Structure 1
Amino acid sequence: MSDRFLYTTPLDPLARPLIDELSQEYESRYGEFYQQDGGPREMDKYAPELFSPAQGGNFVLLLRDGQAIGGGAFKRHDDTDTAELKRVWTHSAQRRQGLAGRVLQELEAQALRQGYARLYLTTGFRQPEAVGLYLRHGYTALFDTSLPHETYRHLPFEKWLRVAALARAA
């Protein structure tokens, strides 16, 4: 087994199986829930260019023996020093190996290299695995965690990267 990270684009053919599976997962969990207001489907919301370094973003795949087994991205969130995480995903056949955490740590390190101090993200209320992942990796929930997740449409989190990096260095 040989794992490595590859910085690329969502349009890379290596990313297609992972993105297709993620799209199916969103459909199975949410169906038409988020389209009730006439908005686009989740995977159609963001142009691939937003995840390019030229636009302040990045897209990474975790490859094992040349096949994408995980991945994720970030894009510029606003005009400050915040990036927004998107599409952190592990192929269903490769789960329970800590791969999503590895992708998350890689994205955090890359965001720091690109000058970001803070990461922001939202996950859906029907994704308890994602909630657990972010809480385990030091993200702060920006919602009342004592309420049922269904209370919210989106569950926002943040993490201050420079503070975390300084703590690790100490």
Structure 2
Amino acid sequence: MSSAARTPLSDLTVVQALVSDVRVQPLLRELGDEYSTRYGRDAHAELARYPDEEFTAPHGGVLLLLLEGGEPVAGGAFRRYDATTAELKRIWTHSAHRRRGLARRVVAELEREAAARGYRRIHLTTGPRQPEARGLYLATGYTPLFDTQADPETIGPLPFEKHVPVATRTGKATDL
């Protein structure tokens, strides 16, 4: 798809989905393939280890997809880490749709939803062989909880955090 034909970010549809939703399968399949290539081991089982319940109420999580023309182009999720902290998981952009700011949009949507559910902090980890993810989190205001000067391969999973203001409900239609 040429960049001239791409939908503006404001025209993408944001939907909540379950892990078992057929629209989530391209996300998990491509993400598993990419992780398997980068880390030299089958990552598909790791991606399947969290059931739907981890990303739905009452646990406080959510899985969001960005749809373009009804097809998933990006997505991500959060789950309850502790009473005040959400943990971002599975931030993904379809390989044919990268370099459009979609991952930033996913992260912003997840942060908004986490704040609306009362979470005050967001935690996440990314792998040492995912420099794009590391760059995304640094660019979107996450604080690295590791020495950024160290070789990522010597650290293992790279933890980040961000404190978010809790959304306040005004009772207006814009809150819905």
Instruction: Give the TM-score normalised by the residue count of structure 1.
Output: 0.88
Structure 2 CA distance for partners of 1:60 and 1:123, relative to 1, 3 Å? same
Unaligned stretches of 5+ residues in structure 2: 1-6, 168-176
Q: CA RMSD in A?
A: 1.9
Q: Is the 8 A contact 2:19 2:51 kept in 1?
A: no
Structure 2 CA distance for partners of 1:33 and 1:140, relative to 1, 3 Å? farther
Pairing 1:121–2:124 present:
yes
Identity fraction in percent = 51
Q: How many pairs align?
A: 159
Q: CA deviation at 1:136?
A: 0.2
Aligned twin of 2:112:
109
> What's the secondary structure of 1:162's corresponding residue?
coil
Aligned twin of 1:37:
none
Q: Is the 8 A contact 1:70 1:89 kept in 2?
A: yes
Aligned twin of 2:14:
5
Aligned twin of 1:15:
24
Unaligned stretches of 5+ residues in structure 1: 35-39, 166-170
Q: CA deviation at 1:33?
A: 8.6
> What's the secondary structure of 1:85's corresponding residue?
strand
Q: Is the 8 A contact 1:125 1:149 kept in 2?
A: yes
| Aligned pairs (5 A) from 1:3-152 | 3-32=12-41, 41-78=45-82, 80-152=83-155
Instruction: Give the TM-score normalised by the residue count of structure 2.
Output: 0.85
